[in-house]
Amino acid sequence: MDRQAIAVMASGRGTNLAAILEAANNGKCPVDVRVVISNKVDAPALRIARNAGVATVLFLDPKDYKDRTAYDKACAEIIQNAGCQWIVLAGYMRIISSFFVNHFLNRIINIHPALLPAFVGADGVSDALAYGVKVSGCTVHLVNEEVDGGDILSQAVVPVLNHDNRDTLHQRIQQEEYKLYPQTLTRMIEEGFSIEGRRVIWNESE
């Protein structure tokens, strides 16, 4: 199976980006990370991408664009010119426009640090902890116009322990993210899927 070019959009530490780059390097995930875009000038994700030799690594400053759509059009042009087939959001802390969602319909994926549809939003880890759930985890999902509301591709479960705080729980969830995100990308490329209602049906040969 040929590698598929992907773009990663990240605002923060970029540890999921690093996990995807590592899986790609080790031949465990058939992707070529061709573009990394960040909306934060100091995002460590940019350094990770440059060190890994990603061809196009860009900070695009939202202040340079008149609105969200203009910003997302600039991103879309870069992503398309590079021939990317999937857009992978990895800690991208910015709401994307309906232009972007529809332009790349069912080709944008995100990872969320909770078991959706529970605990959507910016701090799903704290919200799950505060609610008192005994298991949480992470979810890889297609991106639609609703925040964390797209169809679910995969999930991994992480137990919540008595002594957990936000950081310890998030760290254990992230260990699962580093496996789940590359695995899900691999499955998307090698196996493919169809959508029935809200259900993602993998094209596994049974």
Segment holding 59, helix H or strand E: strand 56-59
Name residue 28's amino acid: K
Tell me which residue of 137, 56, 45, 39 sits closest to 93, measured CA to CA: 39
Binding segment toward ligand GRF, per CB under 6 A, in 48-56, 71-79, 106-114, 160-168? 106-114
CB of 108 to ligand GRF, least distance (A): 13
**CA distance linking residue 153 with residue 12, whole number of Å:** 23
Binding segment toward ligand GRF, per CB under 6 A, in 5-13, 20-28, 55-63, 160-168? 5-13
Bridge partners, residue 156, by sequence: 138
| SS3 category, 121 | coil
Which of 12, 30, 117, 149 is the binder for ligand GRF (CB under 6 A)? 12
* Cα radius of gyration rounded to whole Å, the chain: 16
15 binds ligand GRF, rule: CB under 6 A: yes
* Parallel/antiparallel/unpaired status of strands 193-196 and 152-159: unpaired
Closest CB to ligand GRF among residues 73, 127: 127
Which residues are known catalytic residues?
112
Closest CB to ligand GRF among residues 136, 174: 174
Contacts of ligand GRF in 30-69 (CB under 6 A): none
CB of 52 to ligand GRF, least distance (A): 14
Closest CB to ligand GRF among residues 32, 177: 177
Provide φ and ψ at 169, rounded to 5°. -65, -45
Name residue 108's amino acid: I
Residues contributing to the site for ligand GRF (CB under 6 A): 10, 12-16, 90-91, 111-113, 138, 174, 177
